Amino acid sequence: MGCARTSFKGRESTYKGLMRDDVDMLAVITGASSGLGATFARKLAARGYDLLLIARRGNRLESIAHEVREQYHVRTEILATDLTNDAALDLAASRIGEAADLGLLVNNAGFGSMGYFFEADPNVQEQMHRLHVLATVRLSHAALTNLIPRATAGTGIINVSSVAAYVVSPQSVSYSATKTWMNRFSEGLAMELAAKSSPVTVQALCPGFTLTEFHDTIGMDRSRIPASLWMTSDFVVEESLRGFDRRALFVIPGWRYKLIVWMLRLTPDALIRRWSIQTAQRYKRPKSTG
Ligand SMILES: NC(=O)c1ccc[n+]([C@@H]2O[C@H](COP(=O)([O-])OP(=O)(O)OC[C@H]3O[C@@H](n4cnc5c(N)ncnc54)[C@H](OP(=O)(O)O)[C@@H]3O)[C@@H](O)[C@H]2O)c1
């Protein structure tokens, strides 16, 4: 497990930056060292949130924390840790459960893998389930037990899922399965909150292909995907936060992906399965990246 470090800096009364309004709340972001998580950090700091940034690469977290403190004069804390580790998860959950100013949890940390499940390293597959499922369960529970009694509007959880939640994809079985779980889990939580008339919001963010380090990590050739399907993390996070403001449960950024998901829902499962198998046969991927 890595170390927890704190670096607070009070806001300056003379600040005239881009802060939209001083929300005076804490946003906890997992996977904040790159990609969507780093963009959430920058955009939430611009909205005036103090930040707790979690990921394994402490130096990256330090530099993002430094940047937003300088630019937006918010308070930052970093937790350089591996969320697939039980003790690390305990530590993160207790920090979230005890934060009197908690406003938002973004369960964003995640990774993909390519290749057939039965050829993959079972440890990496298990880690994906730990990160996407168990960490989300544990941190969401900590956040909700903290947020629900306070019943403050504008507070909640964003679970970073994927459009992969809407398909079962050979050679990406664990990824699709865990993201499908994430959608159903978010939906269930939102229903419980509605049943309790709670103002706390839950969102499942379902991006398609987004330019981050995700595809470098799995060694995927980006040129295989049509340019029109790529989105920037800036666009995706902006859509998510706008969706959060209007309390949208599912946010699918980009009209192309909305259309794809709409068509998938209208198509019989058997047909989608056949198409997915044919696609897997056509694209010979490297043996496995986990
Ligand atoms: N990019 C896309 O096309 C796309 C599409 C749909 C959904 N998503 C989802 O978006 C989320 C963010 O991914 P991204 O695209 O921004 O990719 P990314 O740039 O690779 O970011 C992944 C983040 O997760 C962190 N992380 C990975 N394993 C971790 C662990 N064991 N403990 C703690 N943190 C861990 C990484 O930090 P460290 O390495 O420093 O730990 C990094 O900050 C993921 O959940 C992904 O499934 C991405």
Ligand 1, atom 36, residue with closest C-alpha = 31
Burial class, 59, CB count within 10 angstroms (exposed 0-12 / middle 13-18 / buried 19+): exposed
Domain tally, the chain? 1
Is 212 a pocket residue for ligand 1 (Cβ < 6 Å)? Answer: yes
Task: Kindly indicate the confidence band of residue 184, based on its pLDDT and cuts at 50, 70 and 90.
Answer: very high
**What digits encode the pLDDT tens for the residues 54-64?**
999 999 999 99
The CATH number of the domain holding residue 216 is 3.40.50.720
CA of 138 to the centre of ligand 1 (A): 18
Whole-number percent of the chain with pLDDT over 90? 84
Q: From start to end of 161-277, where are the E strands? A: 201-205, 210-211, 231-232, 250-251
Is 185 a pocket residue for ligand 1 (Cβ < 6 Å)? Answer: no
Task: Kindly indicate the confidence band of residue 282, based on its pLDDT and cuts at 50, 70 and 90.
Answer: confident
Annotated catalytic residue, options 116, 175, 257, 283: 175
Average pLDDT value for the chain: 91
Number of CB atoms found within 10 A of residue 225's CB? 13
Pocket test for ligand 1, best of 39, 43, 111 (most atoms within 8 A of CB): 111
The yes-or-no verdict on residue 16 having pLDDT over 50 is no
The yes-or-no verdict on residue 12 having pLDDT over 60 is no
The yes-or-no verdict on residue 13 having pLDDT over 50 is no
Is 83 a pocket residue for ligand 1 (Cβ < 6 Å)? Answer: yes
Is 110 a pocket residue for ligand 1 (Cβ < 6 Å)? Answer: yes
Q: Which atom of ligand 1 is nearest to the CA of 88?
A: 32
The pLDDT value recorded for residue 7 is: 37
The pLDDT value recorded for residue 18 is: 33
**Spatial distance between the Cα atoms of 70 and 244, rounded to a whole number of angstroms:** 26
What is the arithmetic mean of pLDDT over 93-113?
Answer: 98
Quote the Cα angle for 100-106-109, to 5°: 130
The pLDDT value recorded for residue 147 is: 98
Residue 9 within a domain: no
**Spatial distance between the Cα atoms of 213 and 192, rounded to a whole number of angstroms:** 35
Pocket test for ligand 1, best of 3, 33, 64 (most atoms within 8 A of CB): 33
Residue-number span of the structural domain to which 222 is assigned: 19-282
**Spatial distance between the Cα atoms of 27 and 25, rounded to a whole number of angstroms:** 7
Residue 160: which H helix or E strand, with range? strand 156-160
Residue 78: which H helix or E strand, with range? strand 76-80
Task: Kindly indicate the confidence band of residue 150, based on its pLDDT and cuts at 50, 70 and 90.
Answer: very high
Pocket test for ligand 1, best of 214, 220, 225 (most atoms within 8 A of CB): 214
Residue 238 within a domain: yes
Residue 277 within a domain: yes
Tell me if 156 sits within 8 A of 200, measured CB to CB: yes
**What digits encode the pLDDT tens for the residues 190-212?**
999 999 999 999 999 999 999 99
Ligand 1, atom 25, residue with closest C-alpha = 31
Residue 69 within a domain: yes
Tell me if 283 sits within 8 A of 220, measured CB to CB: no
Is 158 a pocket residue for ligand 1 (Cβ < 6 Å)? Answer: no
The pLDDT value recorded for residue 279 is: 85
Burial class, 236, CB count within 10 angstroms (exposed 0-12 / middle 13-18 / buried 19+): buried
Ligand 1, atom 23, residue with closest C-alpha = 31
Q: Is 166 a catalytic residue?
A: no
Ligand 1, atom 1, residue with closest C-alpha = 210
What is the arithmetic mean of pLDDT over 249-274?
Answer: 96
Residue 14 within a domain: no
Residue 4 within a domain: no
Task: Kindly indicate the confidence band of residue 2, based on its pLDDT and cuts at 50, 70 and 90.
Answer: very low
CA of 111 to the centre of ligand 1 (A): 5
Residue 35 within a domain: yes
Task: Kindly indicate the confidence band of residue 9, based on its pLDDT and cuts at 50, 70 and 90.
Answer: very low
What is the arithmetic mean of pLDDT over 261-267?
Answer: 95
The yes-or-no verdict on residue 230 having pLDDT over 60 is yes
Quote the Cα angle for 276-163-209, to 5°: 95
The pLDDT value recorded for residue 60 is: 98
Residue 290 within a domain: no
